[in-house]
Structure 1
Amino acid sequence: MFLVNSFLKGGGGGGGGGGGLGGGLGNVLGGLISGAGGGGGGGGGGGGGGGGGGGGGTAMRILGGVISAISEAAAQYNPEPPDMEVSATELMNILNKVVTRHPDLKTDGFGIDTCRSMVAVMDSDTTGKLGFEEFKYLWNNIKRWQAIYKQFDTDRSGTICSSELPGAFEAAGFHLNEHLYNMIIRRYSDESGNMDFDNFISCLVRLDAMFRAFKSLDKDGTGQIQVNIQEVRTPILGYGVFLPT
């Protein structure tokens, strides 16, 4: 109805092409009404009132037909829903655009394999992409972890060194023992023990998924679980953390 009203009002003097189109159609419809009425009046001579009325009726029928056609087209318009899913490639492009705006974050950039791994971990419905809620959850975490990364990079090197790592992980909500920290450093840090931003985020995404999987099994909140292999596989596979077969 907004479309119809805009046309009939002649675009309301709107700016640009939209106003011109509305004005053009409004003028044409006005011309049909006035022109047909005038023609009927001229043909009727002294009894022009009747002729004018007949011409006006014809114009109104034309106008009614135009309105009906526009209304029907508007009612049948069914646009495709927007793509609300994020693929690994799209995630990579988004994250790399973000880090280019933060030169204080040392990183080689997010590679496609890293982003595929992150999507697999977060893809709870196994579509191969991140849905809206999945991406929102990840994005909010990344913003929070970025602030923690900067906070615990006390020497402003742009990386998190091995001595800074425990504090950063605890601030993110992950309390690990020394053995796990050593494993993480060997996996995600360079030969000097420094972890750059993309490895920091990649590691935390996996930790978050594993912690959520564990909590889903820890029904009574004791911090301990006793399960068989099938009970472990179900929630862990649901969070994209795959166990070896």
Structure 2
Amino acid sequence: MMINMFDKTKSGRIDVVGFSALWRFLQQWKSLFQQYDRDRSGSISSVELQQALSQMGYNLSPQFTQLLVSRYCARSATPAMQLDCFIKVCTQLQVLTEAFREKDTAVQGNIRLSFEDFVTMTASRML
């Protein structure tokens, strides 16, 4: 999925420029994660995740952020997200955001899709 973010030719490969762009994204996400991992535990809570995603420009509800944590984190008494899961979430949000923006030509923050268009849009980017 990360390679697909920078594979402009849809060949399943990226060139040096694409790899450099991917590396920059990874470094930015790692830096952001470390900024919100204030106790240096190697993980962030759903509140810290929401703050990090907000800094990235995502205005997501606490319920959605909690869903992300429960979906991507190991079940425990105090669920928290580790860096690898954070990068996976950021990658998926980036891919879905790009797909959404392609359809939101009026830049209104809303699009109208049929179910098949939605499945095609997400499957072509997520697989």
Is the alpha carbon distance of 1:186 and 1:121 closer, same or farther for their aligned partners in structure 2, counting shifts above 3 Å? farther
Which residue among 190, 197, 206 is the counterpart of 2:92? 206
Q: Which amino acid aligns with 1:207?
A: L
Q: Are 1:165 and 2:54 counterparts?
A: no
Is the alpha carbon distance of 1:216 and 1:183 closer, same or farther for their aligned partners in structure 2, counting shifts above 3 Å? same
1:183, distance to aligned residue in structure 2 (A): 2.0
1:179, distance to aligned residue in structure 2 (A): 3.0
Q: Deviations over 1:206-232 (max 9, x none)?
A: 110001110111111111111334544
The count of corresponding residues between Structure 1 and Structure 2 is 125
CA distance in 1, matches of 2:52, 2:86: 10
- What is residue 30 of structure 2 aligned with on the other side? 146
After TM superposition, the structure 1 stretch with the greater mean CA deviation from structure 2, 228-237 or 191-200, is 228-237
Is the alpha carbon distance of 1:190 and 1:234 closer, same or farther for their aligned partners in structure 2, counting shifts above 3 Å? closer
- What is residue 190 of structure 1 aligned with on the other side? 74
Contact 2:2-2:22 at 8 Å conserved across structures: no
Equivalent pairs: percent with the same residue?
A: 27
Which residue among 102, 109, 127 is the counterpart of 1:223? 109
CA distance in 2, matches of 1:179, 1:123: 33
With structure 1 as the length reference, what TM-score do the two structures score?
Answer: 0.45
Q: CA RMSD in A?
A: 2.4
1:124, distance to aligned residue in structure 2 (A): 4.7
Say which structure is richer in helix. Answer: 1
With structure 2 as the length reference, what TM-score do the two structures score?
Answer: 0.80
1:133, distance to aligned residue in structure 2 (A): 3.8
Is the alpha carbon distance of 1:236 and 1:137 closer, same or farther for their aligned partners in structure 2, counting shifts above 3 Å? farther
Contact 1:121-1:241 at 8 Å conserved across structures: no
Q: Deviations over 1:122-142 (max 9, x none)?
A: 545332233334323322211
Find the residue that maps to 1:181 and give its secondary structure: helix
Unaligned runs of 5+ in 2: none
Contact 2:72-2:81 at 8 Å conserved across structures: yes
Q: Which has the higher contact order (CA 8 A, sep 6+)?
A: 2
- What is residue 241 of structure 1 aligned with on the other side? 126
1:119, distance to aligned residue in structure 2 (A): 3.1
Who wins on radius of gyration, i.e. which is larger? 1
